[in-house]
Amino acid sequence: MEAAAAPASKNVLRRTRHLADRIGDDALKIVTGAAAVIALVVIAAIIWKVIEGAWPAVRHFGLSFVWHGVWNPVFGHEAYGARNFIIGTLVTSFGAMLLAGPLAVAIGLFLTELAPASLRPPVASLVEMLAAVPSVVVGLWGILVLGPFMRSDIEPFLHRYFGWIPFFSGSPSQSGVLVAIVVLTMMALPIISSVCRELFQSVPRDLKEAAVGLGATRWEMVRDVVLYNVRGGVVAAVILGLGRALGEAIAVTQVIGNSLGPFHLSLFGSGNTLASQIAANYQGAGTNLQVASLVYLALILLVITFIANVIAQLIVRRFEFQRTGGS
Amino acid sequence: MEPISLQARGRSRRRLRVNRLAEAASVAAAVIAVGFLAILVGSVLVRALHALNWDFFTKGPAVFGQTGGGIAPALVGTFLLVLFATLFALPIGVLVALYVSEFASPRVAGQIKLWLDVLNGFPSIVIGIFVFALAVKTKMPLLGVGHHQSILAGSFALSIIMLPLVSRTTMEVLALVPNSLREASYALGVSKWRTVMSVILPTAIGGIVTGTTLAVARAAGETAPLLFTCAIAGQLVSWNPSLSSASIPVTIFQYSESPDKNLNAQAWAAAFVLIAFVLVTSLVARIFLERSRRKLGQAG
């Protein structure tokens, strides 16, 4: 609203307007702008406070914290390292993505290509409802229902037929890495599948009809047209799910067993992740160094999820751009 | 010479088989996902039913060693937590969305959207640590509460979780408000702020309400941000927001790890209450969001 730059007629109009209108526009801009600044300040403050809280541990251990595997809170012998938790976080999250990724793509295809039109909305909302189930409820179910079932049925089965693979060696237990992987799969599945569904819907009908018209079967059409067109977006969808799995604290703490030892190759054994270690120990943490080390874990977690989310968002954004710009 | 047959053979037959296999896999995946939900909700329902009674909703937790008791303090706690979180997050979220859709340049708008999505991706446990450092370990600036866990601290943490959800859905709905409405208003000489107040917001109100409802459903079930900010609980109902209180998710979390079968049963019953609230609100919100989206889509 630079008066000098505006044409003279506008100046006249401006002067004749009500006082409320003259102030109102600028006031609204300032108030909404301030809200936007507050939101960005909160984001900056979160990052700053986590760095500040972790600082004593960063100064004490340096970067070697990342690859040291000891976590010893005994006073006088204190030594902390993040390696086991980082490995645990990566193993559980990537394991969950190996299960949830293909499942979610298949669900997305079912909802866009296969299901009869009357079945699509209800099934889609049922899958999305899965995302609304609070993680603590999934964790409760994980401890008391899934865990015992895994120990008595699934894990012995895997052990009998696939025991030669190191992942399935060892004795079945009711809390462990595999249970955490299944729980994370359930939580990431609806996120990935809803993004996939939108991606598949964006593939132009002409292309699909052309493929079918050339004699392709439905699967060949899906593989060579639908999936081929949105392959980058599918990767982004899986990374978004990964972001959710990486940061999940509550459900994982409930089912993973929270061991402090090195990560076992066997998925039946108990483990730990960055988020679950923080959730399990923050309140009971005694010394300042231990608290700072736990916040250091949070900082590592923040960096990992931040990278995953930014990559996913940038890919998804490029897709939206192509979609609207191309058609 | 062989009679002509419509049966696919050789390569075609293999292609058809692969196709059928892929279709079966796709159906199976959908069945698995819906099955997950059914098993989850079913398990909660079956185990909750015998622990649900009047006492459960009206009494505090039982004294150690006794059976019975209820989650009345947790119900009040969650109500207050979500109420204050909404009071923090709703105005800021809507104002940010207004700024992005009505004032910001496309470049700035894109940046704000990206950062809100990044905030949405922050692990909730990290937000718990942030609020702990800000308002529990020290005194919170401005509000003056602090040095101990409180409902206010917990709801502040929940509001950070709600903010991107409220803001992003509001932006989405504001973007659907047809430009013809804005232009009609400006053509009548109405100033921008009046247009926002009396044309844009009323048109978008349905979407804002449903977006907020979805965020409330999400916040009501969040546990991680409360662990360090509002987890110490007494046995009695407390309406004082500057004190800590029990909440439903934290109660489920604590009871679920207990070896006590009675507490496990209480956890299932509390999970039933939570899941019923969350699923019903988010289902209703989703239906409304779809409807207002369609209505706005037609108007444009």
What is residue A10's predicted lDDT score, i.e. its pLDDT?
56
> What pLDDT sits at residue A6?
46
Q: Are residues A227 and A163 in the same domain?
A: yes
Return mean pLDDT, chain A: 85
B238 and B121 in a single domain? The answer is yes
Is residue A323's pLDDT more than 70?
Answer: no
Compute the average pLDDT of residues A137-150: 90
Chain A interface, mutation test: which of B31, B34, B117, B223, most A Cβ atoms within 10 Å?
B223
Q: C-alpha A138: how far from its chain's center?
A: 16
Say if the Cβ atoms of B160 and A46 lie within 8 Å: yes
> Do A300 and B147 contact (CB within 8 A), yes or no?
no
For residues B132 and B182, state if they share a domain: yes
Looking at the fold, whether B34 and B16 belong to one and the same domain comes out as: yes
Instruction: Say if residue B298's pLDDT is above 80.
Output: no
Residues 119-178 on B with a CB inside 8 Å of A are 119, 121-127, 129-130, 132-134, 160, 163, 167
* One domain for residues A31 and A100: no
The first and second tokens of residue B246, run together, are 């029990």
Contact A137 B22 (CB under 8 A): no
Nearest CA in chain B to A115: B27
The share of chain B scoring above pLDDT 90, in percent, equals 32
A247 contacts on B by Cβ (under 8 Å): 121-126
Q: Which 8-state DSSP code applies to residue B3?
A: P
- Does residue B257 register a pLDDT over 90? no
A31 close contact with B: CB closer than 8 A: yes
Residues A102, A38 share a domain: no
pLDDT of residue B144: 54
Domain end among A67, A89, A111: A67
As for how many domains chain B has, the answer is 2
Question: Does residue A206 lie within any of the structural domains?
Answer: yes
Residues in chain A within 8 Å Cβ distance of B138: none
Query: Based on the domain organization, do A103 and A123 belong to the same domain?
Result: yes
Q: How far is it, in rounded angstroms, from Cα B278 to Cα B222? A: 11
Q: In this predicted model, which residue has the larger pLDDT, A98 or B2? A: A98
Distance from CA of A95 to the nearest CA of B (A): 17
B 37-76 near A (Cβ less than 8 A): 37, 40-41, 43-44, 47
**B32 and B70 share one domain:** no
For B242, the 3-state DSSP assignment is coil
Determine which of B45, B101, B130, B232 to mutate to test the interface with A (most A C-beta atoms within 10 Å): B130
Cβ contacts of A43 on chain B, cutoff 8 Å: 115, 118-119
* A138:B15 CB<8 A: no
C-alpha closest to that of B32 among A114, A182, A116: A182
The verdict on a CB contact (< 8 Å) between A134 and B23 is no
pLDDT tens column, B203-219: 888 888 888 988 999 99
Look at residue B268 and tell me whether its pLDDT is greater than 50: yes
CA proximity to A150, closest of B47, A88, B272, A141: A141
Name the β-bridge partners of B69. B61
**Considering A28, A47, A67, which residue would you say is the last residue of a domain?**
A67
Q: Residue range A195-209: average pLDDT?
A: 90
Structure confidence by residue, pLDDT tens digits, A207-259: 999 999 998 889 999 999 999 988 888 999 999 899 989 989 888 988 888 77
Q: What is the pLDDT of residues A89-99, one digit of tens each?
A: 999 999 999 99
Q: What residues of A are in contact with residue B124 (Cβ under 8 Å)?
A: 247, 249
For range A94-120, the mean pLDDT: 92
Of residues B292 and A242, more confidence is placed in A242
For B247-272, what is the mean pLDDT?
Answer: 87
Rounded to the nearest 5°, which phi and psi values hold at A215?
100, 10
Average pLDDT for residues A33-57, to the nearest whole number? Answer: 92
Q: Which of the residues A25, A31, A32, A182 would you substitute to probe the B interface, choosing the one with the greatest number of B C-beta atoms within 10 Å?
A: A32
Instruction: Give the global pTM.
Output: 0.87
Same domain, B222 and B273: yes
Does A312 score more than 90 pLDDT?
Answer: no
The larger pLDDT score, comparing residue B294 to residue B169, is at: B169
What is the band of B140 on the pLDDT scale with cuts at 50, 70, 90?
low
User: Which residues in B lie closer than 8 A to residue A243 (C-beta atoms)?
Assistant: 121
> Which domain range does residue A314 map to?
71-326
pLDDT tens, residue by residue, B68-95: 777 888 898 899 999 999 999 999 999 9
Residue B191 placed within a domain:
yes
User: A104 to chain B: nearest residue by CA?
Assistant: B29
Contact flag B36-A217 (C-beta cutoff 8 Å)? no
Is A83 found in the same domain as A60? no
Give the nearest partner residue to A247 out of B123, B223, B286, using CB atoms. B123
CA distance to A5, A13, B188, B195, B199, per residue, from A18 (Å): 21, 10, 15, 15, 19
Q: What is the chain B residue with the closest CA to A134?
A: B221
Domain annotation covers residue B1: no
Residue B110 has pLDDT above 70, yes or no: yes
Q: Which residue of B has its CA nearest to A141?
A: B40
The chain-wide mean pLDDT, for chain B, equals 85
Amino acid identity at A39: A
Q: What does the pLDDT read at residue B296?
A: 72
Of residues A125, A243, A250, nearest to B223 (C-beta): A250
Whether A16 shows a pLDDT value over 70: the answer reads: no
Q: How far apart are CA B253 and CA B261, in angstroms?
A: 14
CA atoms within 13 A on the CB side of B40: 29
| A259 or A126, greater pLDDT | A126
Taking residue A64's Cβ as centre, other Cβ atoms within 10 Å add up to: 10
Q: Do both A161 and A258 map to the same domain?
A: yes
Does A2 map to a domain? no
Go through chain B and tell me how many residues it has: 300
- The answer to whether the CB of B150 falls within 8 A of the CB of B244 is yes
Q: Is the pLDDT assigned to residue B300 strictly greater than 50?
A: no
Range of the domain at B240: 57-299
Query: Is residue A110 located within the same domain as residue A213?
Result: yes
Question: Is the CB of residue A114 less than 8 Å from the CB of residue A99?
Answer: no
* pLDDT recorded at residue A2: 45
Residue A218 amino acid letter: R
Shared domain for B294 and B230, answered yes or no, is yes
List chain B residues with CB under 8 Å of A107: 26, 29-30, 33
Asked whether residue B236 carries a pLDDT value surpassing 80, the answer given is no
Which of A283, A315, A282, A274 lies closest to A66 in space, CA to CA?
A274
**ipTM passes above 0.85:** yes
- Asked if A39 and B163 come within 8 Å (Cβ–Cβ), the reply is yes
Count of the separate structural domains present in chain A = 2
Task: Looking at chain A, list the stretches that DSSP marks H as alpha helix, in order from N- to C-terminal side.
Answer: 8-16, 19-61, 83-109, 120-132, 135-141, 147-149, 155-162, 177-201, 205-213, 218-221, 228-229, 231-247, 250-256, 274-281, 288-326
Q: Select the more confidently predicted residue: B56 or A184.
A: A184
**Contact (CB<8Å) A283/B282:** no
Work out the minimum CA distance from A232 to partner chain B, whole angstroms: 18
Claim to verify: residue A122 and residue A257 sit in the same structural domain: yes
Are residues B145 and B214 both part of a single domain? yes
Which residue bears the tokens 């231990």? A290
Average pLDDT over residues B41-67: 80
Which residues on chain A are in Cβ contact (under 8 Å) with B32? 103
- From B33, B92, B256, residue closest to A143, measured CB to CB: B256
Q: Which of B43, B136, B137, B193 to mutate to test the interface with A (most CBs of A within 10 A)?
A: B193
pLDDT digits 0-9 by tens, A75-84: 777 888 888 8
Give me the pLDDT at residue A108, please. Answer: 93
pLDDT category, A8, cuts 50, 70, 90?
low
In the predicted model, is pLDDT for residue A45 greater than 90?
yes
Q: Is residue B36 part of a domain?
A: yes
A41-50, A168-177, A269-278, B147-156 — most confident range: A41-50
A33 touches chain B (CB under 8 A): yes
Gap between the Cα atoms of A68 and A82, Å rounded: 6
Is residue A315 scored above 60 in pLDDT? yes
**Averaged pLDDT, A45-73:** 87
Does the residue B62 lie in any domain? yes
DSSP state of B63: P
